[in-house]
Amino acid sequence: MPKVEIMPSILAADIGNLEQAVRQCEIAGADQIHLDVMDGVFVPNISMGPAVCEMVNRVTDLPINTHLMLLRPQNYIEAFAKAGSDTILIHIEATCDVLHTLRTIRDFGCGAGLTINPPTPVESIFKTLESGRVDEVLVMSVNPGFGGQSYIEEAETKVAEVRRRYPGIMISIDGGIDLETVKPAAAHGANLFVAGTSLFKAPDMKEAITQMRTNAEEQYGKKL
């Protein structure tokens, strides 16, 4: 079983206390910090830039998982790599040379991730995956742009299809993940879980992360 990891999304944190939110995630046992970067074009919202990434990098040693919801991610790889990202994820739906951009991400020493939106058929990423240039596949379980949306369970079929083809690859799922939805997501083969609202609204984040990890480990692969 690939290692199960929980990645809080600080999009759901109090924007006035972002530093504290990062420390809170670390103390609560998070495995990575997920950073949601939005340009107001690829998605109908604007969020955080490289300066926030730098802050996270300064505050914690946890890996930074940077999710670029940008129309032209190729223009920002260097900035986010230099700001301390460990993995940089681009979208298959972006307007860029995906293979080339994935290679650029690795050239900067980061893990390369490929993200797929709910309406996009899973077949559209297979050719890119065959290139061997992808370290992490991020399956969106909401339409990107906002935290706090409901989990779209159709994402599970995509997760399972990717997992059957690539037993060792990192598969993350993002959107509406909580202590319940983490179970079917893991059962279909996801091993990395992005969670914003459910973790930041939990009465005790440490308990929530621990339980989320346990639930995922118990269910992993059961629906494959």
- Any idea which residues carry the catalytic annotation? 36, 174
Stretch near ligand DX5 under the rule CB under 6 A, chosen from 4-12, 14-22, 25-33, 165-173: 4-12
CA dihedral 175, 35, 223, 211 (to 10 degrees): -90
Closest to 19 (Cα-Cα) out of 48, 42, 39: 48
Q: Which is nearer to Zn ion, 152 or 223 (CB)?
A: 152
Contacts 24+ apart (CB under 8 A), 99-102: 99/128, 99/131, 99/133, 100/74, 101/73, 101/74, 101/77, 102/128, 102/131, 102/133, 102/134
If one asks whether residue 67 binds Zn ion (CB under 5 A), the answer comes out as yes
136 lies in the binding site for Zn ion (CB under 5 A):
no
Q: Which residue is nearest to ligand DX5 (CB)?
A: 196
Q: In the chain, which ranges are continuous DSSP H helix? A: 18-27, 50-59, 77-82, 98-107, 126-130, 155-165, 182-187, 197-200, 205-219
Residue from 135, 136, 156, 174 touching Zn ion (CB under 5 A): that is: 174
Per rule CB under 5 A, is residue 36 in the interface with Zn ion?
Answer: yes
| Span 95-134, contacts to ligand DX5 by CB under 6 A | none
- State yes or no: residue 148 binds ligand DX5 (CB under 6 A): yes
Size of the site for ligand DX5 (CB under 6 A): 22
Q: Which residue's CB is nearer to Zn ion, number 36 or number 135?
A: 36
By the criterion CB under 6 A, which residues form the site for ligand DX5?
A: 9, 11-12, 34, 36, 67, 142, 144-149, 174-177, 194-198
